[in-house]
Structure 1
Amino acid sequence: MLYRVRVDVLRPWSELPTETLKLIVCRLCLKDNVRLSCVCKKFGKIACSLRVVNQSPWLLYPTAVGGVIKFFDPSQGKFYVDEIPELRCTKPRCTKDGWVLFTGDRHCLLNIFTMSKVNLPYYHMLSPSFAFSCAPTSPGCVVFAIETSFAGGFDSLGVSIGICHPGDAQWTTFKFQITDVGYFNWGDGPVFCNGLFYCLSESSYNLLGVFDPQKHTWSILDVPPPNMPRHLSSAKERYDEESYDEESYDEDFYDEESYDEERTQHMVEFKGEIILVSVSYPEKPIIFKLDLSKMKWVEMKSLNGVTLFVSSHSSLAVTDVPGISSNCVYFSKRCNYGKNNYLYSFDDCKYHPAKQHHEGPFFHKAFWIKPPRKSHLLFDELY
């Protein structure tokens, strides 16, 4: 049975209770927030007050001679440069919340945007991978280092781990023996998530190590390899097939370090979850999420508006960034020989060039950093 309801007065949307409106606005993406602000003055005022405009990550290059550092802003297609003499003979290792861990004769955490600095004790290892949990100005900051050890020869493989807190006089070190073969310091950089450091082995998809900095425990998660196609061809074979030119081909330039001859993996933390990005041009990147309840990698068919910035030392995930495409993966280096492909869009399933070439000497060693707003005002524009 149908009933008719008589409405004497239709109340305008502008009379929607403020608290209800705020709950709605907080759940909107940037584009919808802007659209809502055009409805009426009340909506516009609340939408603007709750609008979050994120800053695009920048690409940070290794320190050049004289302590010169260079950045690339993909949202503007511009380079910025600064000179910090105290960074001479240092190497950036990882980044978090705008802070960078530099190693060399001395180790330090430096915010290159505010120039705040926290000195760290020197860490005696050959080639460790580093990470830190949060900005050193936050309580509970932990700096983490890991390296494969061969104390007993190749038949006795293990990992050496060191941790320290800002203000510590020395590192606290641990050694753990492992039975599986995996070079944890040669893969993607460690990722901190929910109080734990996750370390991805480069030599085996099946090795995902976890270190608890509170309990000082190390374990290998029983997670099967993600389901992905086998690599079809090497990088040089793809070059030969696509655009081989005997005069222009330089075997020293197209080396293994500059270009990936096999599928590469990058781990990213986003809202308390671990995301794995597997890349092998010309195939599309494959995205997985770690499901700890089922102890498996689950393939993600969509990024749901998230943009991933991946590199071998530091990867980031962001949303609602002006000038940056959503549902995309941005890379820190070219994806194939001779072509300027720096991002992949899941909307049209294609690789695309960046607004400007952002390569240069050692560009394959650059990594992403999260700058504060209006950071371009702090540095000289290069070009």
Structure 2
Amino acid sequence: MSLLSLKDQIRASTVCKAWREAAKSVTVVHKYQWFVSIPTWGNSIDLLDPLQGKKYTMNLPEKGVTDVSYSKDGWLLMRRSCFVQFFFFNPYSRELISLPDYELPYQAIAFSSAPTSETCTLVTLNPISEYIVAISTCYPGSAEWITTEFHCSLPFDLINIHSNLVFANDRFYCFTSGGVLFEFDPASRTLNHQAWDDVRFPEIHNNERSYLPKELYLMEQKGELILMYTYGIEKPMVYKLVSSKWEEMSSTLDGLTIFASLSCSETRKDVLGMKNSVYFPNYGLRNNKQCVSYSYDDARYYPGQPKRLWSVDSLWIDPPPFLR
């Protein structure tokens, strides 16, 4: 079964119960993220399997005129064109879960788990000044958002935090371009922070200011925080937080696959055909079904030399349930 293409695996799984169980064992092992492009206008979205290079278009009348803000566990956090109405949307089941209006500005937003779980928490970050940040929380079924202002002893950068809000170990984390990790506990509504002088953005390697396009990504892998810097088409630099110290990962990424985007980033381990690579939510060339990626095994980008590594209306999502 593992030698079949994904499409043939699906067909084989319908033969009988035993074959279905065999197909499940293969697809679970090879589970990885899919690329999803969600234009603001129109009722359709595009799904792309980055490994198979196959593209699917879904017509979703429920979508309307919206922006996508975050993705996790197969759910999308959407925002309507009025900019104050958020809702959860599952493009596969077409289930929609409304949220109370949110009228405050924000620079980063994330949720902890699927909105159907009892532990789902939404968080927004809004730096008011260099040393003051407003954090708002909400839960599915809540009547309103709760906002608290925190005064920090370390500066909270006003840039490059859009892709750096992540949930791990019952807390939300944000890493700023100044090398500060902020930790927010939604249960106690407390905020802590710690700085690292040796991991700064973006001049950490040569202490010189660079004019290359640069991005900062924070993600988690089974409770461990992973940090990645990108500089134009240079090799992405990846670090892991180990015992309160950021350590640069080996040149092979230890079998890790990173799915990076401006909204949120995910990691997977030991995915056949995708190990030791970073995938970005962007096509390499016009009408090309291959996503831009960087291979640490080959020390190069595919395909070609991309002009940029991100796309505003694109991110990653769990594959359709029938493929898991």
What's the TM-score once normalised by structure 1's chain length? Answer: 0.68
Match of 2:259 in 1: 309
Amino acid at match of 1:199: C
For residues 104 and 284 of structure 2, what CA distance do their matches in structure 1 show?
32
1:232 Cα offset (Å): 7.1
Gaps of 5+ in 2: 4-20
Say whether 1:331 aligns with 2:280.
yes
- Conserved in 1, the CA contact under 8 Å of 2:135 and 2:149? yes
Amino acid at match of 1:366: S
Output one character per residue of 1:228-266: Cα deviation in whole Å (capped at 9) or x when no partner: 41467534xxxxxxxxxxxxxxxxxxxxxxxx2xx3211
Tell me which of 131, 144, 166 is aligned to 2:140: 166
Cα distance change, pair 210–136 in 1 and its aligned pair in 2 (3 A): same
Say whether 1:101 aligns with 2:77.
yes
For residues 132 and 49 of structure 1, what CA distance do their matches in structure 2 show?
28
- Conserved in 2, the CA contact under 8 Å of 1:184 and 1:200? no
Say whether 1:119 aligns with 2:67.
no
Cα distance change, pair 335–282 in 1 and its aligned pair in 2 (3 A): farther
- Conserved in 1, the CA contact under 8 Å of 2:255 and 2:276? yes
Cα distance change, pair 122–189 in 1 and its aligned pair in 2 (3 A): farther
Output one character per residue of 1:140-167: Cα deviation in whole Å (capped at 9) or x when no partner: 11111111114xxx7xx41111111111
1:135 Cα offset (Å): 0.5
Match of 1:90 in 2: 66
Match of 2:176 in 1: 201
For residues 34 and 24 of structure 2, what CA distance do their matches in structure 1 show?
26
For residues 119 and 140 of structure 1, what CA distance do their matches in structure 2 show?
17
- Conserved in 1, the CA contact under 8 Å of 2:160 and 2:216? no
- Conserved in 1, the CA contact under 8 Å of 2:46 and 2:56? yes
Tell me which of 137, 141, 152 is aligned to 2:120: 141
1:136 Cα offset (Å): 1.1
1:210 Cα offset (Å): 1.0
Output one character per residue of 1:288-339: Cα deviation in whole Å (capped at 9) or x when no partner: 0012x3x2211111322221111111111113445x4211111123799xx9
1:68 Cα offset (Å): 2.4
Secondary structure of the equivalent of 1:86? coil
What percent of counterpart residues are identical? 31
Amino acid at match of 2:110: A
For residues 186 and 83 of structure 1, what CA distance do their matches in structure 2 show?
33
Map 1:205-220 → 2, pairs under 5 A: 206-220=179-193
Amino acid at match of 1:92: V
Match of 1:264 in 2: 215
Amino acid at match of 1:194: N
Match of 1:77 in 2: 53
Match of 1:289 in 2: 240
Match of 2:152 in 1: 178
Secondary structure of the equivalent of 1:304? helix
Secondary structure of the equivalent of 2:103? coil
Amino acid at match of 2:182: G
Larger radius of gyration: 1
For residues 136 and 292 of structure 2, what CA distance do their matches in structure 1 show?
35
Cα distance change, pair 85–303 in 1 and its aligned pair in 2 (3 A): same
- Conserved in 2, the CA contact under 8 Å of 1:148 and 1:185? no
For residues 107 and 209 of structure 2, what CA distance do their matches in structure 1 show?
31
For residues 299 and 367 of structure 1, what CA distance do their matches in structure 2 show?
25
- Higher share in strand: 2
- Higher share in helix: 1
Amino acid at match of 2:33: P
Say whether 1:372 aligns with 2:320.
yes
1:179 Cα offset (Å): 3.8
Output one character per residue of 1:18-63: Cα deviation in whole Å (capped at 9) or x when no partner: xxxxxxxxxxxx89xxxxxxxxxxxxxx998855333331222233
- Conserved in 1, the CA contact under 8 Å of 2:67 and 2:313? no
1:65 Cα offset (Å): 1.9
Cα distance change, pair 118–48 in 1 and its aligned pair in 2 (3 A): closer
For residues 24 and 58 of structure 2, what CA distance do their matches in structure 1 show?
34
Amino acid at match of 2:185: D
Gaps of 5+ in 1: 1-29, 32-45, 236-259, 377-383
What's the TM-score once normalised by structure 2's chain length? Answer: 0.79
**Number of equivalenced pairs:** 291
Cα distance change, pair 102–48 in 1 and its aligned pair in 2 (3 A): closer
1:274 Cα offset (Å): 0.5
Match of 1:221 in 2: 194
Cα distance change, pair 184–373 in 1 and its aligned pair in 2 (3 A): farther
1:279 Cα offset (Å): 1.3
Amino acid at match of 1:328: S
